[in-house]
């Protein structure tokens, strides 16, 4: 299904996650963040998003625990940066599929 985000038509699934990682860019990330209640992305947000994209590209499973142990961000910081479902929200903003463990 198609959705217009930041002036670009992208492919998304029924939950709004991008289905093609290559369609993602910084403007799309900022627009999705706003939709998710995060008014602006800081450098720390962007660092987490890039980390998630790298891990997804490598085929690694993503969990809050593994992200908290990554050295990129602590679990508490992750919850502060992406309140109300940190891995689910950060994955959506990063333009990657929803992690398997997320409801």
**Annotated catalytic residue: which of 48, 70, 102, 103?**
102
Going by C-beta distance under 8 Å and a sequence separation of 6 or more, which residues neighbour residue 60?
Answer: 66
Residue 92 zone, left/alpha/beta (φ > 0; ψ -120 to 50; rest): alpha
Is 50 in the active site?
no
What residues are labeled active site?
A: 102
């Amino acid at each position: 299904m198609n959705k217009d985000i930041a002036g670009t038509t992208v492919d998304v699934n029924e939950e709004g996650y991008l289905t093609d990682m290559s369609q993602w860019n910084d403007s799309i990330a900022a627009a999705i963040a706003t939709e998710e209640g995060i008014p602006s992305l800081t450098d720390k947000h962007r660092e987490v998003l890039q980390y998630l994209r790298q891990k997804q590209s490598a085929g690694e499973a993503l969990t809050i625990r593994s992200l908290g142990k990554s050295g990129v961000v602590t679990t508490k910081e992750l919850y502060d940066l992406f309140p109300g479902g940190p891995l689910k929200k950060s994955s959506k903003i990063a333009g990657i599929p929803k992690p398997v463990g997320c409801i």
